[in-house]
Structures are given as C-alpha cells and as structure tokens.
Amino acid sequence: MNKFLLDNIDGLSFSLFSNTLRKKDIKINGKRVNKDVTVYTDDVVLVYISDDILNSKKSSIKLDVIYEDENIIIFNKPANIEITGTNSFTELVHKEYSNLNFKPMPCHRLDRNTTGLILYAKNQSSLDILLDKFRNHEIEKHYLAWVYGIPSTLCRKCEAYLFKDNKKSFVYISNVPKKGYVKIITSFSVLQKNDDNASLLDVQIETGKTHQIRAHLAYMGYPIIGDGKYGKNEINKRFERKYQMLCSYKLKFNFKSDSGILSYLNNLEIILDNSKTFIEL
C-alpha cells in the first residue's frame, strides 16, 4: 500500500504516510487500517490528510544545483523523494525549468532515500549521448556508504547474483547462480574506520541493478546504517538514522568514444562538498 499511495498522492512522504497509518487515518473498503497491507484492483482507499500539510511537504524541497551548463544539470538530491513518477524530483525540475523547450530528463536513477548527485540532460542530443555513456561505463559513479561493520580488507571487488521481487519491491542476493537471478558486481574501498564498529566506504557498481548497493553490502555483513529495508532496526535506532546513509558523491566523465556536443565534459570530475554529505560521522 505504501508504494501505491506514495506514487499517487501528490506531496505524500513516507514519514507522513507512516504517521497517518499510525493514527488510523487510512481506510480500505471502509475499514480503518494501522499497518501496511496489500491493495488490489477495485479497492477503495481513503486517506485523511489536510491539503495544507501535503502542500507544505512538497514546497519544502528546494533544488540544489551543483553544476550547470547549456547541455546538462547536476543536482544534489535530498532524501525522501523519488526521481520519477508522481510528486517526484523530476516534476520539481520540470517546474523550475518550465521556460526550456526541452524538459530536463534524468540520465540515471537514485533510490528514494539515497541522496547526492543526479545528472539531467537539457536537450535530446545530450540525453542520448549520456544514456549511451552510462551503458558503456564511460561515466564513473561513486557512492559514500556509512555501514555497520569494518571490512577486513581495504579494497574489495565482489560478485554475486540478484533477484528482484517486483511484488514485494525487494531484492534477494545469492553467491551462486540461480534461476531468475542476474550477476552483479560491487566494488568498495574503506575510507574511514570508526570506534563504534562503523565504517565509511567508497562504493562503485559495474551493474546498476535495483537496490544493488544496499542489498549486496547487507548480504556481505555490512548493512547501511539507516536502511529500513535491508539494514537492521536496532542498529538504525542506535545511530538515530531513519534514512539509508548512502550518497552519490562523485561523478567522473571518462569518455572513450565519440561524445559529440559533450566532448568538453571528458575528464571532468564533480565531487559533492563534504558539508553536503554525511561525511562528518
């Protein structure tokens, strides 16, 4: 139910949904519910939230531009908003850039509660080029992950297999091939070790699958702090984090083939300022 409502109610955040559910202000087929349940076609869902609250939630998000030129924009995305869909980050971008002939479009994705750098194209030619560059691994994406546990090796490249359960919006990891599972590759290096058994990792993925970083790190025994889906609640409470501490903090353009009007971007590296990440632990 949460995904359905978050995708279809303009201004509804996960925290507001949780609070509304806790107060039993959601009805399904005339019955109040206080837990997340499955909804089916033809179910009647009523949600009691004032318009003032919804509008204030939506208007509170301000676009943070990290880099912009005539072809691309790179934003710093906050937590608690999807990249696409109803009431999404892309909708906010389209509203802010409504004067352009071409609506800026995202060239990659970030999970709802993953923060950091997100790249948008300002014209169709740039979009086509950048989508191709991401497919061919000619743009590096680096993530900061604050995890519980300290890896025994400073650098590691890990292969596994991932299965996506669309109904549950959940992925499963296996260390051996299985039917329906696809191969994933996740690499990390340890940037910082803390006395509280937490560490800061620089993470790269060669295969950009749904929830790959979150699920794969958790499978290896290093759950991301604050991750309510693949992490551990007792750890999240201990560190007082309600969103996964995962941030897209660096983009580097490593073009190895023709890049047309974007050739000037080659070798450009965009790094999010420390003050805009969670690097102060």
CA 141 and chain centroid, separation: 13
The question of whether 195 is a catalytic residue gets the answer no
Query: Residue 51: its pLDDT value, please?
Result: 62
The pLDDT profile of the chain, 281 residues, written as one tens digit per residue, is 677 777 667 667 676 777 788 888 898 888 898 888 888 877 888 898 876 565 555 556 889 999 999 999 999 999 999 999 988 999 999 999 999 999 999 999 999 999 999 999 999 999 999 999 999 999 999 999 999 999 999 999 999 999 999 999 999 999 999 999 999 999 999 999 999 999 999 999 999 999 999 999 999 999 999 999 999 999 999 999 989 999 999 999 999 999 999 999 999 999 999 989 987 65
- Give the per-residue pLDDT at 17: 77
User: Is residue 260 a contact partner of residue 125, using CB atoms and an 8 Å limit?
Assistant: yes
Contact 26, 47 (CB under 8 A): yes
Residue pair 86/10 in contact by the 8 Å Cβ criterion: yes
> How far apart are alpha carbons 131 and 154 in whole angstroms?
32
Q: Classify burial at 58, counting beta carbons within 10 Å of its beta carbon; exposed 0-12, middle 13-18, buried 19 or more.
A: middle
Give the pLDDT score at 59: 53
129 within 8 A of 259, measured Cβ to Cβ: yes
Give the active site residue among 36, 42, 111, 195: 111
Q: What is the pLDDT of residue 280?
A: 60
Per-residue model confidence (pLDDT) at position 46: 87
Determine the pLDDT at residue 226.
96
- Tell me how far CA of residue 254 lies from CA of 134, 231, 257, in angstroms: 10, 33, 9
Residue in this structure with the two tokens 């551990």, named with its chain if needed: 232
Task: Produce one character per residue of 21-56: b if its CB has 16 or more CB atoms within 10 Å, e if not.
Answer: beeeebebeeeebeeeeebeeeeeeebebeeeebee
Domains (ranges, CATH) in the chain? 2-58 (3.10.290.10), 61-138+253-276 (3.30.2350.10), 144-247 (3.30.2350.10)
- Residue 12's pLDDT is 74
**Token code pair at residue 180:** 């329906």
